[in-house]
Chain A
Amino acid sequence: MFSRKEAVLTDHRDTVAELYRLHGPAVYRRCLRLLGQADLARDATQEVFVKLVRHLDGLADRETALPWIYRVATNHCLNLKRDGRRRGEGAALPDLDLADTAGAEPFPDRTLARQVLARFDAATQAVAVGALVDGLDHQELAALLGVSRRTVARRLEHFLDGARRLLGGT
């Protein structure tokens, strides 16, 4: 029979396993979307979830868990892309295709090059990927990132201005 302490620890392990089973697929899909390689996505999924389980109650709340997962996974994977760490595989990470719904955005290319993305701070990167790659409208993106629509618009404008200069566009 478990002692009380052991039972508590066992419950904790079970809770972690259950939450990982429930939310792991969303993390994995997000990481695969941004990293493009299954092995990198697998490692990133583990790393992201290690960050998430530091706050188990946040994962247990289904209403707020997904936006939080989106933010943590996006930032983590963009950091991986930016830093190019992980056994030198960063250099081989693919560029990101723009979403069809992002066609209205005045971006001068159909892909978002890693080198262009890496020129911007993490918050701006998250907005650019959300708007251009995920095709999210400003309202949904603001809710996911926990910022105002105005902040989304301002950061996207900042990104587009800079990207056009980098790409030699207008």
Chain B
Amino acid sequence: MEARCPSDPALERHLLAGASSPLEGHVSACASCAARLEAMNRLAEAFHREVYPATLAAVQAAAAAHRRERLRWLVLGPALAAAVAAALTLTRLAAPPAEDAGATGGLGLTVLVQEGAGARAVRSGEAVDAAAALRFRIHAASACRLWILSLDAAGEFTRLYPGEGTGGAAVRGAVEIPGDAVLDGRAGPARIVAVCTPGPAKWRALAAQLKGTAAVSEDFVRAPPNAAALPAGATLASVLLERRS
């Protein structure tokens, strides 16, 4: 038995892990830990008896409201018909950020804005309607795991594609991204960022690396993303949108 009993957070992990917990040996032989676990289980029972039924509806309603807000950005639907022109904006990692530059053989991102029955490619920095519907096209020179994120003027990254899963979508070559993203109607800069990593990666971690410790401002959104902060081998492409209402 270890000399020191595990901390409360460690016991929380133990409860979540169940029989596979590495602490099983210690806690099964430690009266103090057994008493702490019993107390924790009593509080869990109190939660399930009193807190959960009284608060679940509010939690679900708040989650649904947040989801609806996100869906204003991302309206996933069936793949639309063929697109029109494309404008590749490529940045390759490991080199100085050449944001929105021409093809470099890494990752290409095309942002298309719906106009009438067709769509047109957007140049980085171009003004678009604040409620425009966007579609995306990717070209990955080699197989990788893709995330498409949006960065708004508040500095918040939002996951656009894939809408589910945790490791990113496996892509290679030219890929039409299914569905479209509808801008939320607010004016100001927004940046669409595509990141492709050699293996599965969590989008939130990638967003945190891109954000770093930078102060959030419209200038931050307009500046080229700090691609060098991403994991080795990752490629990045981005397009800046100036939303006009």
Where the two chains meet, the residues of A that have a C-beta atom closer than 8 Å to any C-beta of B are 9, 12-13, 16-17, 20-22, 24-26, 28-29, 32-33, 38, 42, 45-46, 49-50, 53-58, 60-62, 64, 66-67, 70, 101, 134-136, 140, 144
Check: B16 CB closer than 8 A to any chain A CB: yes
Q: How far is the CB of B31 from chain A (nearest CB, A)?
A: 15
Which residues of B from 44 to 102 have beta carbons under 8 Å from A?
44, 46-48, 50-52, 54-56, 58-60, 62-64, 66-67
Would you call A20 and B13 a contact (CB within 8 A)? no
Would you call B9 and A144 a contact (CB within 8 A)? yes
Bound-complex Cα distance A22 to B13 (A)? 12
Which residues of B from 5 to 23 have beta carbons under 8 Å from A?
7-10, 12-13, 15-16
Bound-complex Cα distance A140 to B12 (A)? 13
Would you call B60 and A66 a contact (CB within 8 A)? no
Q: Choose among A29, A62, A101 the residue that contacts B40 (Cβ–Cβ < 8 A).
A: A29
Q: Apart from A53-B62, A58-B204, A66-B13, list 4 A-B contacts with CB within 8 A.
A: A21-B52, A49-B59, A56-B63, A57-B204
- Chain A residues positioned under 8 Å from B67 (CB to CB): 12
Q: Which secondary structure dominates where chain B touches chain A?
A: helix
B contact residues, total (Cβ < 8 Å): 33
- Chain B residues positioned under 8 Å from A53 (CB to CB): 59, 62-63, 66
Q: Choose among B8, B55, B166, B204 the residue that contacts A45 (Cβ–Cβ < 8 A).
A: B55
Interface-centre pick from B12, B58, B166, B202 (highest chain A CB count, 10 A): B12
Give 7 closest A-B pairs by Cβ, nearest first: A25-B44, A46-B55, A53-B63, A50-B62, A28-B47, A16-B63, A25-B47
**CB-defined A-B contacts under 8 Å, sample of 12:** A21-B48, A24-B52, A29-B12, A29-B43, A42-B50, A50-B59, A55-B204, A57-B165, A57-B204, A58-B204, A64-B202, A134-B9
